[in-house]
Structure 1
Amino acid sequence: MSGRTPARACPERTCVGCRERAAKDDLLRIVAVEGECVPDHRGTLPGRGAYVHPALVCLDLAVRRRAFPRALRAQGPLDTEALRQAVEKTVAEKATP
């Protein structure tokens, strides 16, 4: 036997809001496009990405800490309004059974 386990390791990322590690599938990838933070649901947009829990608490912490410009290595502030709307939509979809 080679000592390998049959299960594959799940990639982990750190939320830029709460700074907790979580499975990559549980987090929302964010990419900077033309000075705006855009959610990347499929994970295929080009460029550097940052990860955040799809919760308003983590989003607010990340905005307050100015984590997005730092994590995405962007110059100046980034607009997060479209990102906030996407997270609110995700929260609303999870709340309705």
Structure 2
Amino acid sequence: MPRVRKIPQRMCIGCQEMKAKKELIRVVRTPEEYIEIDSTGKRSGRGAYICPSEACLEKAIKGKRLEKALKQPIAREIKDELLERMKQI
């Protein structure tokens, strides 16, 4: 009988849905206190997962869920930069 591999699940902080880890984008607060999108998913620091849609990112920012998940207030410039990067993905 073949062994079934467990698929890691994470919750999107925007829509609050559980999805496969590979479907989500990781936003990370690095040890240097800089917030950015982690394309590899392996950078060190505190991370939060979000769907690759602008609507989910806007929900997370508006409800301050991103700030709570990263345990740091987020400046307006960083929010705008995250929205721009999300449009590119």
Q: Same fold (TM over 0.5)?
A: yes
Which residue in the other structure is 1:72 paired with? 70
TM-score where L is the length of structure 1: 0.78
TM (norm. structure 2) is 0.85
**Percent of aligned pairs sharing the same letter:** 33
Please list the CA deviations of residues 41-80 of structure 1 after superposition, one character each: whole Å capped at 9, or x if unmatched.
1012111100000101101100100111100112x23422
Shift, 1:81, TM fit:
2.1
RMSD (CA atoms): 1.8
Tell me which residue corresponds to 2:85. Answer: 86
Correspondence for 2:10 among 4, 9, 13: 13
Q: Which runs of 5+ in 2 are unaligned?
A: none
Listed as ranges, the gaps of 5+ residues in structure 1 are 91-97
Instruction: Report the equivalent of 1:23.
Output: 20
